[in-house]
A and B are shown apart, each in its own frame.
Chain A
């Protein structure tokens, strides 16, 4: 029987010859990701974790990234509890504050590979489809249970095939594409589904793919994936991973899809997701002249070197508007170092940017860069929910790094094609 990517990988991980949508299977994931929430996770299983131990020292990936450096005694203590847990249980994959955002590190450190299955206690775990892995978000309780048993159930999802034709025009980026798609199919348009990207994907770098798969959850997807190709292999080779160390999985020709969509990349223009839902997507011309007080470039959606470079190219030798605060948030220490050494950080700071440590920063409103009532933020992050950046009476707009950088210059939402 021909199977989709999700069906094939779930069949493999459940030792089944074949599986069909809606079937419940038991799987043992390769890794379980958790971050600052690890403190709350281990608290749930205190007696058991010491009685039975962690299922495997190699199973957890723990990254301190959400509230870094700690903002209070309480968050500092969370970090302390996690560090003690890591030491005591000899957890192999631990990344302390300053290393970067969990999703970036999972990919950058080669912990997600083509054909692997990862679950994580964070909704944007779906990002690793960028590297052709199957990955999906779970809650803290499930992560706790997995730390003890190493296994869980998954429902085999329906699959959606998205075929991309043509090529994006200058000034239009993968962020515009994924926002366009979410605007088209709605924030529940891929609910419970596995989303596969097919067609003309050779112009999408791993950075571009990451932006797209990262936002899979914003259309309700269980996972989102680009298949392993020469771009994937080259990326992995560059981080020191040989082709012999992974076995890619591809959807079969003739597999059954619940829905099929086609997008002509030439038709995509810069767009902005307007408050307060990610699917409230409008052409940039509809919102140009909307004044903004804060700009955020970075996060797990758009904090990679290519994103920072796009922003630096636009801001080089210029100053941002005096009514705007521009926050720069590299997705990892490695990206930060490369951006520093290549002069990108210098350019951004000279233009008026404020550099934040690699982490989640203002994205979820729990730490730095919170908004005040009536303020508007234009951000490269993935969510614009009411209250998301700490204030229910503020507004968040989402766009590409080019749109955010250009808008920072003018103090209002501005089409990047005006300066590119």
Chain B
């Protein structure tokens, strides 16, 4: 498992350049351009189960959802950040990409430290220290459990 560490204000253009927004919308088209202008090694080397650790305001900027679809498709297990921009956060819920806001864990992390996530108990272990993060509201867990918003909506429509 790799851990990809990035700074504050990783914006949506860094995650997925605007010039591809209207020509790439499915996962296979998105994957090669993920983080292209920030870290060209990412799309070549990212593996299923990898983790991203970032500073504050991760995903700020555009409402484009290619960054979320792409990160989910390459198998990013979780993005841990000091904070997230709200549209990105919502898009992640809708696609079932796991985000954890935990500034202390990000602060404590340094290269080489092992990172483990316990979703059920809301705990991140970084090296020798554990940090807790709050549980999501029930309505939002229901969307995640359905496998994403569209699945949730389809279930709702069927049961109408």
A associates with B: yes
Distance from A317 Cβ to chain B, minimum over Cβ atoms (Å):
36
User: How many contacts A-B (CB < 8 Å)?
Assistant: 135
A222/B140 contact (C-beta < 8 A), A365-B19, A385-B61 known? no
Instruction: Tell me the residues in window 26-80 of chain A with beta carbons closer than 8 Å to chain B beta carbons.
Output: 36-37, 40, 43-45, 48, 52, 66-67, 72, 74-75, 78
Closest to A75 in B: B22
Which of A24, A141, A390 lies in contact with B94, CB distance below 8 A? Answer: A141
Q: A123-B61, A137-B87, A141-B94 are in contact. Are A72 and B23 (CB under 8 A)?
A: yes
The answer to whether A191 and B153 touch across the interface, beta carbons within 8 angstroms, is no
Q: In the complex the two chains form, is B94's CB within 8 Å of A139's CB?
A: yes
Chain A's interface size range is 35 or more
- Contacting pair A138 B83 (CB below 8 A): no
Given contacts A222-B86, A386-B37, contact A145 B149 (CB under 8 A): yes
Q: Are A387 and B13 in contact (CB under 8 A)?
A: yes
- Tell me, in angstroms, the Cα distance from A36 to B64 when the chains sit together: 12
A188 within 8 A of B: yes
Contact A142 B9 (CB under 8 A): no
Contact indicator A366/B19 (Cβ below 8 Å): yes
* Minimal Cβ-Cβ distance residue in A for B56: A188
- Which residues A202-225 have CB closer than 8 A to chain B? 217, 220, 222
Q: CB distance A364 to B9 under 8 Å? A: no
Query: Is B41 among interface residues, defined by CB-CB distance under 8 A?
Result: no
- Nearest residue (CB) in B for A146 is B153
Instruction: Point out residues on B near A: beta carbons under 8 Å.
Output: 9, 11-14, 17-23, 25, 36-38, 56-57, 60-65, 68, 83, 85-87, 90-91, 94-95, 137, 139-140, 148-150, 152-154, 156-157
With A145-B149, A188-B9 already in contact, 20 other A-B pairs whose C-beta atoms are closer than 8 Å = A48-B153, A74-B22, A78-B22, A123-B62, A123-B63, A137-B63, A149-B153, A153-B140, A187-B60, A188-B57, A191-B57, A191-B86, A364-B18, A370-B19, A386-B14, A387-B17, A387-B18, A390-B18, A392-B17, A392-B37
